[in-house]
Amino acid sequence: MSRNFSRRDFLKYTGMGSAAAFAAAYGMPLGTALAQAPPSDTSGHLVIYNFGGTEQQRMFGNAIARFNERYPNVLVEDLYIPWPEGWGHYITNLKLRAASGLKTDIIAIAIEGTRETIFEDLVLPMDDAIAADEDLAAIVDEVEPVLHNALKGPDGQTYYFTREWNNMIIHYNPVKFEEAGLDPPAEDWTWEDFLETALVLTHGEGGDKQFGFGIPFFNFGLTPWWHTNGTATLTEDWSQSNLDDPKMLESVKFVHSLVHEHGVAPSVEGVNPYELFPAGTIAMTGAGRWPFDTYVTTGYKDVDITPWPRKTAGTTVFGSGGWAVSKTTEDVPLALELIKDLAAFETDMEAVAVGTSLPARRSATENELFNSFPANAHRFFGSLEDIKPVPSPANFAEVESIFMRHMSQIMANSLTPEQGLEMAHVELSAAMDKLAERMAGG
């Protein structure tokens, strides 16, 4: 099985050899065709390559049911990958499907994987389709622009329709604050304020030991510390390492000091802050909306949210997910109809109800359900005023693993922040050069 795939082989394998399918696949004369929705008696078979947890399953299952009301003769197969441990595996599996000619019609992926799927030609550009279809245009219009734009390709084309998103925001325990005689954090609090607060909240010994903060120790969870200092691991255009930025060093040193100098956060290895926070071992941590699902089902109430403390900026980070039409689909219009249901307002309302992630539309949050818990739920969408996506170049998985590998050595004190960042910078620069080469040679 020498799978030396040429593009022609690829098309042959994926059953797209015919001229019509080819044209459809490359999106050229699609405009007129798409304006016309397929008749409701259309029959067919659509495959969604999907991910998430149990609540997402239920949510998207309902969207598919709505689609089937409109198209009863279309069989929708919702392939499901449990929470991917890294996007690398998820994407490899997707590529395997494409390489072996298995049909996929709709691809769901998080921002971390969008660039790779665009680069590998797995998804179709959507600008023409959106221009020709009012419903799709409406979906794009209703979604917060910053969310929609983050999923665009490097060419500025839209490939993905926003599915859901999460930011990083401080989760704090109001009861612990009150016990310590602290006011709730101000919306514009600074790193210094944060540290003072965390020091007050750190006390006790042995079984009574309480820490002020639990560091979310993963790439996305650490990013607000860079963004609130006006920097990031990669340059603005995600093309080169930015780890030699003195502000990165400053931020890393601050995170390091939380454990090693001030002792306000437990050592990061082996710690899951989302277990320790409800247990009361830590008084603050950072997350998006995703732990709220568990807070709600376990009846945990002692939590509110507040913006990330700032150094020079109030910028936090977000990650979003999207739906794209797969290049291997045989029926673009039908796939788009399904996306209309998957990305519908109703789905957003369900996202609000289940509490795992934030809906794409602000309008879905303007209700009692969303705003009753936590008390300051409006701060989720409030964060959109000053926010940046998590840097997600096509080699995201590699960037993440290089950075976190060095970061863990810094936190373990086996490298100083200076040494760690310098070594990471060298390695990351080489990886980014390789990516540029790959892009150019693609």
Among 23, 33, 37, 79, binds other proteins (CB under 8 A): 79
DSSP state of 163: E
Shortest Cβ 34–other proteins spacing (Å): 26
Among 159, 161, 189, 211, binds other proteins (CB under 8 A): 211
Among 15, 29, 61, 145, binds other proteins (CB under 8 A): 61
Toward other proteins, which CB reaches closer, 77 or 135? 77
Asked whether position 153 contacts other proteins by CB under 8 A, the answer is no
| Segment contacting other proteins by CB under 8 A, of 16-24, 57-65, 174-182, 244-252 | 57-65
Among 37, 132, 140, 276, binds other proteins (CB under 8 A): 276
Which positions from 279 to 298 touch other proteins by CB under 8 A, shown as an x/- string? xxx-----x--xx-xx--xx
- 235-to-77, 146, 230, 391 alpha-carbon distances in Å: 40, 18, 11, 9
DSSP β-ladder status, 74-81 and 44-51: parallel
What is the phi/psi pair of residue 212, to 5°? -70, -35
Toward other proteins, which CB reaches closer, 121 or 386? 121
Shortest Cβ 442–other proteins spacing (Å): 7
DSSP string, 179-211: HTTPPPPPTT-BHHHHHHHHHHH-B--GGG-BB
Among 200, 247, 274, 429, binds other proteins (CB under 8 A): 274
Which positions from 300 to 339 touch other proteins by CB under 8 A, shown as an x/- string? x---------------------------------------
What phi-psi label fits residue 236: left (phi over 0), alpha (psi between -120 and 50 degrees) or beta?
A: alpha
Asked whether position 12 contacts other proteins by CB under 8 A, the answer is no
Q: How many residues bind other proteins (CB under 8 A)?
A: 87
Q: What is the footprint of other proteins within residues 328-387 (CB under 8 A)?
A: 356-357
Shortest Cβ 439–other proteins spacing (Å): 12
Asked whether position 92 contacts other proteins by CB under 8 A, the answer is yes
Smallest Cα–Cα separation from 106: which of 319, 320, 338?
Answer: 338
Here the tokens at position 339 are 């996306």
Most distant CA atoms of the chain, gap in Å: 73
Shortest Cβ 407–other proteins spacing (Å): 9
Shortest Cβ 162–other proteins spacing (Å): 17
CB 193 within 8 A of CB 185: yes
Contacts of 407 (CB under 8 A, 6+ apart): 217, 222, 252, 420, 424
Among 257, 408, 416, 429, binds other proteins (CB under 8 A): 408
Find the DSSP H helices in 383-416.
396-411
Give the Cα separation of 27 and 11 in Å (integer): 15
Smallest Cα–Cα separation from 357: which of 310, 291, 408, 410?
Answer: 291
Which positions from 158 to 187 touch other proteins by CB under 8 A, shown as an x/- string? ------------------------------
Here the tokens at position 354 are 């289940």
Among 39, 156, 181, 270, binds other proteins (CB under 8 A): 270
Toward other proteins, which CB reaches closer, 29 or 89? 89
Q: What is the footprint of other proteins within residues 117-136 (CB under 8 A)?
A: 120-122
Toward other proteins, which CB reaches closer, 17 or 82? 82
Shortest Cβ 4–other proteins spacing (Å): 5
What is the phi/psi pair of residue 186, to 5°? -70, 150
Asked whether position 54 contacts other proteins by CB under 8 A, the answer is yes
Exposure b/e, 362-392, CB count within 10 A at least 16 = b: bebbeeeebeeebebbebbbbbbeebbbbbb
| Segment contacting other proteins by CB under 8 A, of 138-146, 181-189, 308-316, 403-411 | 403-411
Here the tokens at position 200 are 């007050």
